[in-house]
Amino acid sequence: MRLLHTSDWHLGRTFHRVGLLAEQEAFLDHLVDTVRAERVDAVLVAGDVYDRAVPPLSAVRLFDEALHRLAALDVPTVMISGNHDSPHRLGVGGRLLGRAGIHLRTRPEECGTPVLLADAHGAVAVYGLPYLEPTLTREALGAATARHPEVLGAAMAQVRADLAARPAGTRGVVLAHAFVTGGQPSDSERDITVGGVAAVPAATFDGVHYAALGHLHGCQTITERVRYSGSPLPYSFSEAGHRKSMWLVDLDAAGAVRAERVDCPVGRPLARLRGRLDTLLTDPGLAGHEAAFVEATLTDPIRPEEPMARLAARFPHTVSLLFEPDRRTPDAAPSYASRLQGRTDQQITEDFVAHVRGGQGPDQPERAELAAALSAARLRETER
């Protein structure tokens, strides 16, 4: 059986307030084309379909269109809710959608009830484990404590019990939305440490032939049978080095796994630039980043004037600006009292300006302003 494993669509998400709906639509076009071209038998979507519990209408429309297109292919789709989704909203109409081959799994009570598929070699039981918030799902699952390892372990116990009761040779596949030990996170994932320890061991998924994971945005292999597909688009600059893809997974008659990556279409690339503003604006080696989303970290010892506007003139898609001044301090500085000794108020204020500017003192107009301010202060002092 050939499975296409994807997750973390985050429909409705923006990138530093820039809309990504066109890029998300392009990905879904690619997904449908891949299902058709690769003769996929089932699509697995491992959670975080939406970016938030109440998604924008444009994202709902895009999701609705994707469901219709997947159903029209007559290829079953199994989909779970993630920690960004509202399980109740995503699960509306689930039983009706199931008749069209779109199987939504959003309730903990359904963890041990698989979607039954079949190929020439027999049955494949696909179990959907939605994101299981420990404090909310512990009782329904009969977990010993409200912690991620125990709650997910209880759900997998139900999976193994159901699979053991099925005819010999039934292959088992599970979808889960979780943080598995050994996975590499990025800045994009929402923290799920509420409810105790966040990470669960990969051994939690022992007993099934393939575990299709969601939550972490980097495509990665935990074990040959436990994998993250990652998000189809980058959602933070920490993902600048990611290769965005889906897993095309083949299960043979014995449940052995063969997996290959299917690259997702590249939208606007990401670039993290660092240096002094003048260098970033003139370095010919940066020409390849002029069409990218840019995060610029300026190291100028003094904050330049209008840095964002100047950057945007060369890099029009600059969306993040950081300052990390390169200020070298002497190894040994004299005491504060010794630095003041014998110096005038004018000299002291000029020294202060030089200190906060990383060594660059005031220019002539600024010296005049300082002198005027000091004179005004002395005048007010004498008038008291």
- Cβ-contact 44, 173 below 8 angstroms: yes
What digits encode the pLDDT tens for the residues 52-96? 999 999 999 999 999 999 999 999 999 999 999 999 999 999 999
Question: What is the topology classification, in CATH, of domain 2-263?
Answer: Purple Acid Phosphatase; chain A, domain 2 (3.60.21)
Question: Which pLDDT score is estimated for 126?
Answer: 98
CA dist., res. 321 & res. 106, Å (int): 39
Q: Which amino acid is at 161?
A: A
What does the domain layout of the chain look like in residue ranges?
Answer: 2-263, 270-323, 339-383
The number of residues in the chain equals 384
CA dist., res. 317 & res. 293, Å (int): 5
Q: Which amino acid is at 200?
A: V
Question: Which pLDDT score is estimated for 229?
Answer: 98
Question: Which pLDDT score is estimated for 196?
Answer: 44
Q: Is 309 helix (H, G, I), strand (E, B) or coil?
A: helix
Question: Which pLDDT score is estimated for 347?
Answer: 86
In this structure, how many other beta carbons lie within 10 angstroms of the beta carbon of residue 80?
32
Rg (CA), the chain: 29
Question: Which pLDDT score is estimated for 333?
Answer: 52
Residue keyed to tokens 């688009």? 233
Question: Which pLDDT score is estimated for 354?
Answer: 83
Question: Which pLDDT score is estimated for 195?
Answer: 40
What parts of the chain have a pLDDT lower than 70? 193-197, 328-342, 358, 378-379, 381-384
